[in-house]
Structure 1
Amino acid sequence: MSLWSSPMLRVLEPGDYFGTTSLQYGDDGISVVETSFATDLVIPQHEHVNPFFCFVLDGRGTRSWPARRGKDGPMSLTLFPAGVPHANCWYGAGGKALHVEFSSLWLQRLGGRTRVLDRPDDFVDGAPVSFMRRLVRECREQDSATPLAIEGLVLELLAACERSVWRAATVGGSHRWLDRVEALLHDRFREALTLDEIASDSHVSADHLAREFRKHFGLTVGEYVRQLRLDFACAQLTSRRHSLAAIAETAGFADQSHFTRVFRRRMGVTPGAYRAQLLEDRSCTKD
């Protein structure tokens, strides 16, 4: 079993948000739902089948992504991708939110023209919040033109979010996007990530990422990931709880032989010798 295994997460079906819901609009792959949440509600970690925006209408709600950009961040307008575990809390007298959810049909219509719906993000002001407020008004004052208006507003909302993320990554936002890359690597260093995947997550090119990352951290992305894996392995080697093969697999190495080669090159000893020395030192200290 993996060192990082966890209980089965609850996966929420379309329209389920742990509250009392009222459908405001539903057509052509988009659903808009108003949800009321109970007093002092703690929502355990879960994930959703579809991506959606959550716009807080009343109260104070927070979200937390395990190991992603901090915990218990306040929500104003938050994008929750499909299949990304998270938890929520609603404080005091509860709260109310508008959820805009996208079905697979709508994602097919987008045809990959935006990656906004693929990653978690928060928008606190600016054009994204302005478009969402207009969407709230449109849902409350519907007429025969509402389907056209909502489709147009949703497209403008996605474009505004895309531009907001792009500006943060390119206009005076180097530290912010590098912080995002660093958080991603700490969260997913066990995975076989490609440079293109990492760059895409922060809306920069792979060449720009490689150049700026090395300039900022003094290491290549690959060297940084390798060091994270070694740090994790060293922590696991402080006890005999897990085998060397299990540690190698969980840390992201190809196999135990690969783990041993990288560890010996960096630490000067094999993982087994490192563990034996640690345990001997601990025994001597107790004596």
Structure 2
Amino acid sequence: MHHIESLRISFPAGATGGSVAVYPPGSNFGPRTMRDFEFVWIIQGDVTWQCDGVDHAAPAGSILLARPGMRDGFRWDPLHETRHGFYHFTIDLAGAELPAMEEWPLVRRLPENDIIRQLFCHVDWLMRSRPDHWLVLAEHAMRHALLAFITGAMAVTGDVGPPLHPLIEQVVAHVQRRWAKGRLEQISLDELAEAAGVSRAHLARIFRAHLGATPVESMRILRLDRAAALLVRTNLAINVIAEQTGFENAFHFSRVFRQQYGHSPRAMRLRIAAGENMPTIPLVRVRHLSARMWQKPPG
């Protein structure tokens, strides 16, 4: 394979990194017609990907590559919660000597330690933190991920992702256990502080210092993050999404969602269907908390 340096990757305008979506058992998404390329990383659950009329098994640890013009849809795990990450991008193949796109794999199973997940996490960090030359670095990282996927050269060793403050990690572990059955119930500050083994005031100081939000605010943002993903990645009714994400009713959910994202849930779903970008969490450091919460299965 020669001249791969001429391969160019671009992200949608306003991209802020990949997103992680979580679905209740038995959910479906699609069908849809792809406008660009999309990597889909199955983190948890056994998924069936319906691509151009053909079913592909995609268990946890799989990476899928959807391409422009494909007609696809997903049947999420019928018995258990499903988690997946996704990244949209475009490719300029001019001058790149690669196998014909028809020869590229559709699905790959990742080895236990692989470069692709590390590259995805690196792209997330670059887009959240935006150091000098972040966009060029992110495009190079995604190009590396694409080439690793095409060639199968994916193996590596080591862990990924910087840890959060130890008290926040304790809260994450507790919340994951509480939310493991699928419904994101409201959790009080008293309960979070007890899980961390500290006072309410001390836990609030730690969260503000490291995440820029209180513990309760952070949990609400995470629930809205899940709700936004369900709105644009499933066909679930809005009242069902409200119930799944721990809101009292659809009216309360719509009011809080509008405060967070500037649009009602129904309007957001229509805007995404019309081609707008996926909404992102306003607080950068809470986006990192979201990645830790959804990409790491409950212990």
For the aligned pair, the TM-score class normalised by the smaller chain equals 0.3 to 0.5
Larger radius of gyration: 1
Bigger relative contact order, structure 1 or 2, given CA contacts below 8 A and separation 6+? Answer: 2
Task: Return the structure number with greater strand share.
Answer: 1
TM-score, normalised relative to structure 1: 0.38
- So what's the TM-score if we normalise by structure 2? 0.37
